[in-house]
Structure 1
Amino acid sequence: MSDKFDVIVIGTGPAGSSVAISCAKEGRRTAVIDERDYGGTCPLRGCNPKKVLASVSTMVDETERMQGKGIQEPASINWQDLMEFKRSFTEPVPEAKEKSFKKAGIETFHGKATFTGEKSLTVNDQVLEAERIVIATGARPAPLPIEGAEHLTYSEDFLELDQLPKRIIFVGGGYISFEFAHIAARAGSDVHIIQRGNQPLSAFDPDMVNLLQEKSKEIGITIHLNSSVKAIEKNDTEYVVKADQDKGEVSFLGDLVVHGGGRVPQTEDLQLEKANVEYSKSGIAVDTTLQSVSNRHIYAIGDVADTKGSPLTPVGQMEGQVVTENILHGTGNKASYMGIPSVVFSEPKLASAGLTEKEAREAGYDIKVNHQDVSNWFTYSHINDKPAAVKIILDKETDYILGAHLVGGKADELINYFAMAIQLNIPAHQLKIVVYAFPTAVSDVPTML
């Protein structure tokens, strides 16, 4: 005997939660399923706890760069106190999330969801059915073809460290590695990043990435490019990481080796074949309305879906809104990924929205590129914020902003203004005539254009 619902959502992160609560409020009988604590990666094991740690790292950087300019003593990080503070944000989430579901009239299930048919699944041996099932299971660390990969520590484990090791090696040069490396280095660790290719953070503008790399080196992070990790060995008191470089095999010694090699869609154990759901290593195949191309009862959103969107929380939330409208009203809404901003919360921060210079040229646009070092502008010079730079890609024909790329302490907030302009098709000349509060970072926007 099965329990029948209108909507079942698998995954309780921000994307899945928004769908479930919205459907329940509209009178749909709704259920949520999660095999882990309710709340999802971002609030519990990703964005939010990472930002707590990164913000403290920023404060340390601010006091260091203002030595002799009004600040006498640099700040330092007490790791145990910081982790306790971080847990004050993460620990309340699962209970609060479950209470919000129950308040909305949503039935909650803890366990692993496994499909048994196109509209049915089991959780804890209980059979559930629904006309609409939304898969929002997120992503997991990508398996790395490395001998001794069992010795890797993962990002969520790093966020729970009671003690910060003296020597840390990050395998891979993506978001996780750079954000955590900047935190660890400013907390006193000797940090190495091992990057297989010749540029880390490959989705970002290379000129901005180069500036971040130089700053990373200044604070004691060693970056090894064109280095392919082959094996990790554990000795009594340390790990040995072996990598191939042009000059031959090299070895690195560390007390902790962290997986920073990217993530893949979490489709394991769902048994999607039984639901006639097409998927690949890139995720569940969906159309522009985020509906499964092979099973029209199924939707997929967030990191588990194979879309044009980046693996970002705001992307998942946007997709959740699209799916909610399509389930409730059959509107056929489509997901749009134009101009969605992305930020690396290192210090300085690295931010991007829209097309890179290379992408714009390859797309055939006649472009104007405003590439400026802005570290001597008052916004940055009065707090000794270096490096700071901006690259704006403009369409000469329409005056629309095609892309924006920034590095600096204000990049995470500034990028939102450029993202707004890209998404709403606001031409550059209109941004220039706005009267902004001064002196603020945003008041620099007209000069950047």
Structure 2
Amino acid sequence: MMKIEEFDVFVIGSGIAGQTVAEACVASGLTVAMADNREFGGTCANRGCDPKKVLLAGTEILEMARHLEERNVVSIPRLNWKKLQKFKKEFTKQVPAKTEEELSKLGVKLYYKSPHFLGKNTLSVEKKTVKADKIVIATGQVPRELPFEGAELLKTSDDFLDLKKLPKKIIFVGAGYVGMEFAHMAARAGTKVTVIDSGERPLAAFDADLVAELTDYSKQIGIDFVFKSDVTSVKKSKKKYLLKYEKKGELERIKAGLIINTAGRVPALAELELEKGKVAFDEKGIKVNSYLQSTSNENVFACGDVSNHSLPLTPLSGREGYVVSQNIMKANSKKVDVPVVPSVVFTLPNLASVGYLEEEAKERYKNVTVKRGAASDWFNAKRINAPLYSYKILINERTDEIVGAHLLGPHAAETINLFAMAINHGMTANDLQSTIFTYPSWGSDIKSMV
């Protein structure tokens, strides 16, 4: 009879959520194992936020230089994509080995395949049977599968972030965060870009007014948009891809050297055989209670992007991992408490948001003051000749508290953090106006916004 390996805790997924659980549980004396079917370290560090921001750095320089060309920059630099990719690898190359080394030093047993459930406490991994008192699912998300003919020919965000050379033309199928960010990068690097989406506009989760401004500016830098359109098929010839789509009942076609699936991501559950483990799930992820515990199997917890509780944002993954570790060690002693979380699209300019959208705020509160304005003639924008800088701040009229903030402009990804802090601590517009900030800084601008 095959020997069954036993652990106190088995973690599936090696991203920040899984690492947080493993480290805390080992420190408390529990035996821990971890499995991942890809490089250890998770999406963000290996093939997500971090490498994306490294590639973005090159286009940030281009953007600023182009804005200042008519003022004081004599010649525009060229982007060397190949060198930029080499620089990016300095950040990603060491992640898997370093993660494995740190986990192994702690005493975590590592497996290199995706496990699947055999029962409520039992898994099969690397053809071995493993039993654990508690099983933690932290597998994150994967690209959404698309339903049309030839969808398997599309590349993913992983492929884009590893491209050795940019083709002359790229099509992005999906106008969410990733599609818009990559479209901005590729267009600035000299590629002809088309973004196609079934919706009426990009970035449906963000303020419509600011998104409209960003969309107009995106067109100015050479991005073509095709909205209210459904892709019907993709075919590949020797050198190009042919994409057909339907718009207003008409069949249209476009060709490109590469087509990327940026139609969103879904919880990575396909290989786990959750039914055998009696683990309930829906399209949003594993069904969990306020302790991040499975609603149908008390031995299973889920944290990070894979639970139906979570927003797919890296800062939340670590927080949820901590909550799960506490509930494993101290029998459901900690409920998950999610603060108001800012989010950002790293286009240039950045689009950032925290708190309620305008329509949500007006449903929630009796009277909402909307502070909406363009700030492109303010000092910070003018000194770098930035063409786009706008804001929309939502204030509960009765209490003067900030309840939502939406920014479009240079460094909005940083400035939005001040509004996140203000909302989470119940600060009023007057509180912000009476705070002394460094001047002239982007942060100091918020006093004029409220």
**Structure 1 and Structure 2 fold alike (TM over 0.5):** yes
SS in structure 1 opposite 2:295? coil
**Which structure 1 residue ranges, 5 or more long, are not aligned?**
none
| Offset of residue 142 of structure 1 | 0.7
Paired amino acid for 1:374: A
What is residue 267 of structure 1 aligned with on the other side? 269
Contact 1:338–1:422 (Cα < 8 Å) also in 2 = no
Q: Distance in 1 between matches of 2:292 and 2:68?
A: 49
Residues 202-253 of structure 1, C-alpha deviation per residue, up to 9 Å, x if partnerless? 0000111111111111110111111211111222321111111126121111
Q: Distance in 2 between matches of 1:429 and 1:321?
A: 35
| Offset of residue 364 of structure 1 | 4.0
What is residue 322 of structure 2 aligned with on the other side? 321
SS in structure 1 opposite 2:336? coil
- Does residue 1:242 correspond to 2:223, yes or no? no
Q: Distance in 1 between matches of 2:333 and 2:434?
A: 37
Contact 1:348–1:386 (Cα < 8 Å) also in 2 = no
Of 160, 165, 168, 1:166 maps to: 168
The count of corresponding residues between Structure 1 and Structure 2 is: 448
Please show how residues 283-362 of structure 1 align to structure 2 within 5 Å.
Answer: 283-307=285-309, 309-330=310-331, 332-362=333-363
What is residue 43 of structure 1 aligned with on the other side? 45
Q: Distance in 2 between matches of 1:336 and 1:187?
A: 41
SS in structure 2 opposite 1:8? strand
What is residue 385 of structure 2 aligned with on the other side? 384
Contact 1:208–1:406 (Cα < 8 Å) also in 2 = yes
Q: Percent identity?
A: 41
Of 95, 99, 111, 2:113 maps to: 111
Q: Distance in 1 between matches of 2:180 and 2:416?
A: 19
Q: Distance in 2 between matches of 1:79 and 1:119?
A: 48
Q: Distance in 1 between matches of 2:21 and 2:373?
A: 42
Please show how residues 10-409 of structure 1 align to structure 2 within 5 Å.
Answer: 10-246=12-248, 248-307=250-309, 309-330=310-331, 332-409=333-410
Q: Distance in 1 between matches of 2:297 and 2:307?
A: 14
**TM score, norm. by length of structure 2:** 0.97
| Offset of residue 292 of structure 1 | 0.4
Aligned-residue CA RMSD (Å): 1.3
Paired amino acid for 2:205: A
Q: Distance in 1 between matches of 2:225 and 2:339?
A: 32
Q: 1:337 to 1:199 in 2, by over 3 A?
A: farther
Paired amino acid for 1:418: F
Residues 304-357 of structure 1, C-alpha deviation per residue, up to 9 Å, x if partnerless? 1111x3211112122112212222233532223342011111100111111100
| Offset of residue 413 of structure 1 | 0.1
Q: 1:270 to 1:291 in 2, by over 3 A?
A: same
What is residue 423 of structure 1 aligned with on the other side? 424
Residues 398-428 of structure 1, C-alpha deviation per residue, up to 9 Å, x if partnerless? 2221111111111000011111112222233
Residues 29-87 of structure 1, C-alpha deviation per residue, up to 9 Å, x if partnerless? 11111111101111111111111111211111011111031211112211110111111
Q: Distance in 2 between matches of 1:327 and 1:417?
A: 34
SS in structure 2 opposite 1:182? helix
SS in structure 2 opposite 1:306? coil
Contact 1:238–1:253 (Cα < 8 Å) also in 2 = yes
Paired amino acid for 2:303: I
